[in-house]
Amino acid sequence: MRARPMSTTTLQDTNAAELMGDGESLSSEVLRRRAVQRRKMLLMQIVSYLVDAFVLGLFVWIGTTSIWTAFGYILCGLTVSGIWLALSELHFNDRFRDHYLTVWQSGSNAIIQFAFLYLAPEVGFVFLCVLFIIFGFAALRISVRQAMIGWTLTTLSIAAILLFTDKMLTIPVASHSERFVTLLCFSLSIGRFIYLGLFGNAMRKELYQRSLELKRANRRIEELAEVDDLTGAFNRRRMMRALDEECLRVQRSGSPYSIALIDLDFFKKINDRYGHPTGDEVLRTFAITVFANIRATDKFGRYGGEEFVLLMPDTSNEVAARILNRLRVITAELDWSAFSDGLKVTISAGVATARPDEAPDSILARADSALYAAKDQGRNRIATA
């Protein structure tokens, strides 16, 4: 079964809430997806601890360190990971902006490494390698300030062990067996670090894709805010903005433009006699007819009710009158009886051409006066201001 697509408004709200980390605003689907992401990350963390425990087990086998090192390390790692996994499954994380709780999670894992760096310095390089992996993960999500604090605390912790204790941190290379296990540890650490890099790249791609979806949703919302739902024409607000833009353009170029106010004759009688659904079809059909018969540079919108406005850039009064008269003839000749027997539709329009430095309100007022003149002369005609 194909999933039902999210509406543009829902997509916008969801992406915005996810980016802001507002757990209360997120849908159940988003919360579920975030929980799955955390589960994957924590399972990778558990696997990483098992890998380190395997390496420590090899060092135990060849006599480099004590069995308690490997046992204590895996016990601490699994305990901490289990606590974070339990909190995640209980959706404790969802109340925070960073639902991974990266700082706290990385800090708790780093403390384990510092502790075993002190307790088992004979294999200290293992825990130093893990520190790089921990901060590689943290770097994917923490801020610059958090990174500087983490770097400072880590440096001070290692300095305390190196400068204020007699612990000898070593890389076991005394025998061929130790060299082999050390090589294995380095190889596994580098592999995990590369995996983190690939994971971060996948996160960036996902974020980029989501940002594109959000931009598309925003563009669609902007389009819907400018379009009349019934007719598909621009709404009044968008047409007034287009008129303001045209006035500014004309002030720079000096080329003429014309505007027409168009009214469907006796539209109230159409609604009363044939019903509002038929009236809606008349409005939609008229809008489609206009779109099919105007130029690409013209802008057409619904001014209100059964009244429309047509903006015609670079158009003189005579040309604008011919365009409107052609629309009038086409409209009158349509087979409106397809909607209801006996239905006929005609239009009246008032055309005005902008004068030098004329304000939008002024040209609209003149077009409106011309429209009333066309109605007074019997309708189904074009009048010029």
DSSP-derived secondary structure for 11-22:
HHHHHHHHHHT-
Q: What average pLDDT score do residues 69-91 get?
A: 93
More confident: 205 or 54 = 54
Per-residue CA distances from 6 to 12, 15, 104, 206 (Å): 10, 11, 34, 17
Say what the pLDDT of residue 301 is: 94
**CB-based contact 246:353 (threshold 8 Å):** no
Query: Of all helices (H) and strands (E), which one includes residue 259?
Result: strand 257-264
Sheet of 347-353: strand order equals 299-304, 307-313, 257-264, 347-353, 382-384
For residue 302, is pLDDT > 50?
yes
> What pLDDT, on the 0 to 100 scale, is given for residue 224?
65
Distance CA 207, CA 58 (A): 40
CA distance 362 to 369: 11
Segment 311-359, tens digit of pLDDT:
999 999 999 999 999 999 999 999 998 888 889 999 999 999 998 888 8
Q: What is the pLDDT of residue 369?
A: 94
Which helix (H) or strand (E) is 248 found in, with range?
A: helix 236-253
Q: What is the mean pLDDT of residues 207-230?
A: 80
Residue pointed to by tokens 């990174």: 147
pLDDT score recorded for residue 102: 86
CA 278 to mean position of chain CA atoms:
39
* Total count of residues recorded for the chain: 385
Backbone angles phi, psi at 172, to 5 degrees: -65, 110
Q: Using CA atoms, how far apart are residues 335 and 312, in angstroms rounded to an integer? A: 27
pLDDT higher than 70, residue 155:
yes
Is the CB of residue 115 less than 8 Å from the CB of residue 165?
Answer: no
Helices 102-119 and 124-138: crossing angle in degrees, nearest 10, is 170
Provide, rounded to the nearest whole percent, the portion of the chain with pLDDT above 90.
53
State residue 5's pLDDT score.
38
Q: Which of 174-178, 199-203, 223-227 has the highest mean pLDDT?
A: 174-178
* Mean of pLDDT over the chain: 86
Q: Evaluate if residue 32 carries a pLDDT over 90.
A: no
Taking phi over 0 as left and psi of -120 to 50 as alpha, with beta for the rest, 235 belongs to beta
- Local structure of 165: helix, strand or coil: coil
Asked if residue 186 has pLDDT above 60, the reply is yes
pLDDT in tens, 93-110: 888 888 888 889 989 999
